[in-house]
């Protein structure tokens, strides 16, 4: 590898200091190491920020993108392309990018034109569906993949089908420190004459410290001078969610066990220079992590490479690094085993010194200059595998190849329509209409929206929307009559229920919402309550007669089964309701009328969506084919003369052998079509479905029979319908939520259907 063949403009993407996270530290370390290795090259960073306003970044950071803002990823891609980066080094971790399982990253990766080398910091053997989709795309869009352990390569090959030729195994880098005795540093920290145990990093439940502290009484019995130093700030996201509850619990645990004199908490994020002193003072490093599926640990690498003895649980990285007696492995969740491991080492200095020497020798292969050299080899390999595409590709970015520009998320009107009880049904213009009160239908839709927003961002939505999510779920909980198992629907402004039981459709929409709440939210309390409401309300659906109610209930069942897939009676209900739909289909459909009723009315595409979803569970069954065939027919009959989406009008609907109503066109029809088409695409990968979803979505924006937008960009609300003489002037909850839900689904789908733009040759 000659100097002339090295890349001259190297871009790095990831978190970056002063952001407090391991990826930010790694991005800084690898960028600086590569910059030192090729001083003539230009190394710069696109930093991913997790808070509005960002950070006070150093000059190495040229561009900052907002984690939750999908469009900022595309702007970052444009920046990288226009600045002619020779290679892009991406730090991949599901949690640092926005979207479901960090899928916002894909928008950038699809648009950059330079080779991509992606470092995979987490590789899951059993990913969720969203994680699998994202990682499959990351693999496809990357020219080279870097993993930090042999186990990572094994999982990529066996689980994801990646060729070994595409993978580089490069250990986590570490600073180069001399091999010194701990006594040299203990005096500086005020722990001279004591045996020092250390755990460091951002503190949170995954560290397993709650299993290390209970080991201390036994350790102290044999080695009274032992002190356990827990170094690091509580993870910022954990602090946002629950404050310092976890750390305070650890402190109480140490006090209850009588070892508070043997535990030191240093609640700071320390500099590298300070960290070297803490590591230097360490006798034994503890990593009592809780689960096997951790492919790398930067803290373990740092301490191991500095020549320190380690007692660790057997997560994947520790198994490899501490093999051949280079450390002590103990079972997960086992304080007694931790105590035995520590005491054995402290009583056998000869063995501990040999471990230290072996670790330090192996660590010389992990120091940052050696790691930088191997990354440069990977960069050069990526460039030789794929010649950089022409930079003059701007002319090739046609509208067809560019991502579809969606309106920005604006929830002003949803918030304006909501109070401490729930969301109001109707509005006069854009003002809530108190007299009409509330309904379960709209609070169910609102709660689903909150769940989708959480899914899109990969974390809870804004504090205000999180509060409203609690309100909407509380409304659903109040709506359920536990004695009858039925949800009520209408409530007055004075919080009086106006009926003993709501319609079948409103009950089933509540099931859909609570099933979604059971299957998706990060909030454990929301998930448990939603599951309870769903299970209480589901039995009533078996006696329903409405195919739309069956379909809404099926959508809820499929959402619920995302978390609770082995509930036999839920699966039996799914079979029962699906069979009811299939039976109607066989009784009514013909080649000319492939539909399960002699009329087409409202929320029609939801029936197709429910059948298509069932086909996901039974890919060889007929339900998928019925769902797709009926959806194709719905698409064909809902197209205006100009090619726009023309939903069946509610002013008469469409009777077989009759004349279909053109107006009044309802927003829920466009939303249902968006959902059904995206579901069809996720199962078939047929590109016709994203096009039809886009056509239906554009109905909101003015691509309709009157050429008038229903969505109001100023208020964030949506008109209640498209009439023959114009749009409704009122912006009620149902219509506004229809638009917001459709927008949320379009955002979710963007990651899977956007083509990578190709330049003109």
Residues 196 and 150 in one domain: no
733 found inside a domain? yes
409 found inside a domain? no
Residues 147 and 14 in one domain: yes
Task: Output the pTM of the full model.
Answer: 0.71
* pLDDT at position 269 over 80: no
Residues 131 and 252 in one domain: no
- Among positive and negative, which fits the CA dihedral 52, 55, 61, 62? positive
* pLDDT per residue as tens digits for the range 650-681: 999 999 999 999 999 999 999 999 999 999 99
Residues 50 and 127 in one domain: yes
* Pairwise pLDDT comparison (616 vs 481), residue with the higher score: 481
* pLDDT per residue as tens digits for the range 213-235: 999 999 999 999 999 999 988 87
Residues 206 and 153 in one domain: no
Residues 101 and 118 in one domain: yes
Q: Which of 543, 572, 601 is the last residue of a domain?
A: 572
Residues 314 and 373 in one domain: no
Mean pLDDT of 300-314: 94
* pLDDT at position 241 over 90: no
Out of 314-328, 346-360, 397-411, 547-561, least confident range: 397-411
User: What token pair was written down for 289?
Assistant: 């992590």
CA–CA distance, 603 with 597 (Å, rounded to integer)? 13
67 found inside a domain? yes
650 found inside a domain? yes
Residue 169 has a pLDDT of 97
CA–CA distance, 396 with 758 (Å, rounded to integer)? 7
| SS3 call for 367 | strand
The CATH number of whichever domain residue 319 belongs to comes to 3.40.50.2000
Residue 549 has a pLDDT of 98
Q: Which of 316, 348, 363 is the last residue of a domain?
A: 363
Residues 193 and 290 in one domain: yes
User: What token pair was written down for 478?
Assistant: 């109040």
Q: 269 is in which domain, residue-wise? A: 183-363
711 found inside a domain? yes
422 found inside a domain? no
Residues 344 and 316 in one domain: yes
- The answer to whether the beta carbons of residues 646 and 665 sit under 8 Å apart is yes
* Pairwise pLDDT comparison (284 vs 129), residue with the higher score: 284
CA–CA distance, 147 with 565 (Å, rounded to integer)? 32
User: Ramachandran region of residue 128, left (φ > 0), alpha (ψ -120 to 50) or beta?
Assistant: beta
Residue 405 has a pLDDT of 74
- The answer to whether the beta carbons of residues 369 and 28 sit under 8 Å apart is no
Beta strands in 459-524 (DSSP E): 480-481, 486-487, 490-491
761 found inside a domain? no
CA–CA distance, 318 with 315 (Å, rounded to integer)? 5
């Amino acid at each position: 590898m000659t100097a002339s063949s090295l890349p001259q403009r190297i871009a790095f993407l990831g978190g970056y200091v002063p952001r407090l996270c391991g990826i930010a530290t790694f991005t800084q370390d690898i960028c600086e190491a590569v910059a030192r290795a090729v001083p003539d090259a230009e190394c710069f960073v696109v930093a991913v920020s997790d808070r509005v306003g960002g950070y006070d970044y150093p000059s190495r950071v040229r561009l900052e993108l907002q984690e939750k803002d999908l469009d900022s990823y595309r702007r970052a891609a444009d920046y990288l392309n226009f600045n002619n980066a020779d290679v892009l080094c991406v730090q991949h971790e599901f949690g640092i990018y926005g979207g479901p399982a960090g899928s916002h990253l894909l928008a950038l990766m699809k648009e950059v034109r330079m080779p991509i080398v992606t470092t995979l910091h987490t590789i899951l053997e059993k990913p969720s569906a969203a994680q699998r989709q994202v990682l499959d795309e990351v693999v496809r869009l990357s020219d080279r993949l870097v993993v930090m352990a042999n186990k990572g390569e094994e999982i990529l090959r066996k689980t994801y089908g990646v060729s070994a030729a595409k993978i580089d195994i490069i250990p986590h880098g570490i600073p180069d420190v001399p091999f010194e005795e701990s006594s040299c540093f203990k005096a500086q920290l005020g722990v001279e004459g004591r045996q020092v145990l250390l755990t460091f990093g951002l503190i949170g439940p995954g560290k397993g410290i709650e299993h290390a502290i209970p080991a201390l009484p036994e350790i102290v019995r044999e080695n009274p001078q032992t002190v356990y130093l827990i170094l690091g700030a509580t993870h910022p996201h954990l602090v946002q969610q629950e404050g310092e509850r976890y750390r305070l619990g650890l402190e109480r645990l140490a006090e209850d066990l009588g070892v508070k004199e043997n535990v030191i908490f240093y609640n700071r994020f320390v500099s590298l220079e300070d960290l070297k002193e803490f590591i230097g003072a360490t006798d034994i490093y503890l990593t009592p992590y809780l689960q096997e599926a951790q492919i790398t640990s930067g803290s373990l690498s740092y301490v191991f490479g500095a020549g320190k003895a380690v007692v660790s649980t057997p997560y994947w990285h520790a198994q490899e690094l501490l093999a051949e007696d280079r450390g002590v492995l103990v079972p997960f969740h086992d304080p007694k085993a931790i105590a035995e491991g520590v005491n054995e080492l402290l009583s056998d200095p000869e063995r501990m010194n040999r471990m230290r020497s072996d670790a330090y020798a192996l660590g010389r292969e992990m120091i940052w200059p050696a790691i930088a050299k191997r990354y440069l080899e990977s960069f050069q390999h990526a460039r030789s595998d794929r010649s950089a595409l022409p930079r003059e590709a701007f002319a090739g970015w046609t509208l067809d190849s560019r991502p579809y520009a969606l309106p920005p998320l604006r929830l002003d009107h949803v918030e304006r329509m909501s109070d401490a009880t729930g969301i109001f049904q109707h509005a006069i213009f854009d003002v809530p209409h108190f007299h009409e009160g509330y309904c379960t239908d709209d609070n169910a839709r609102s709660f689903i929206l909150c769940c989708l927003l959480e899914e899109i961002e990969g974390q809870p939505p804004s504090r205000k929307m999180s509060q409203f999510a609690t309100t909407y779920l509380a409304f659903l909980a109040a709506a359920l009559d536990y004695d009858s198992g039925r949800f009520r629907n209408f409530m007055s402004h004075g919080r009086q229920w106006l009926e003993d039981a709501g319609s079948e459709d409103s009950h089933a929409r509540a099931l859909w919402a609570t099933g979604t709440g059971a299957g998706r939210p990060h909030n454990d309390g929301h998930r448990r309550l939603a599951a309870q409401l769903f299970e209480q309300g589901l039995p009533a659906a078996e006696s329903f007669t409405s195919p739309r109610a069956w379909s809404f209930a099926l959508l809820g069942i499929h959402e619920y089964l995302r978390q609770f897939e082995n509930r036999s009676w839920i699966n039996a209900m799914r079979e029962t309701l699906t069979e009811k739909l299939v039976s109607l289909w066989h009784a009514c459909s013909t080649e000319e009328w492939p539909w399960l009723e002699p009329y087409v009315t409202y929320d029609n595409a939801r029936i197709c969506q429910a059948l298509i979803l069932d086909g996901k569970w039974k890919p060889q069954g007929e339900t998928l084919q019925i769902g797709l065939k009926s959806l194709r027919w719905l698409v064909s009959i809902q197209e205006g003369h100009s090619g726009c989406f023309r939903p069946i009008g509610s002013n008469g609907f469409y009777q077989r052998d009759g004349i279909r109503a053109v107006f009044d066109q309802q927003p829920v029809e466009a939303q249902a079509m968006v959902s059904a088409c995206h579901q069809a695409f996720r199962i078939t990968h047929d590109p016709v479905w994203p096009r039809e979803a886009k056509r239906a979505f554009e109905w909101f924006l003015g691509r309709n029979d009157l050429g008038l937008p229903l969505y109001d960009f100023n208020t964030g609300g949506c008109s209640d319908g498209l009439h023959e003489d114009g749009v409704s002037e009122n912006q009620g909850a149902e219509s506004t939520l229809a638009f917001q839900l459709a927008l949320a689904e379009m955002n979710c789908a963007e990651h899977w259907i956007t083509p990578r733009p190709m330049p003109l040759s």
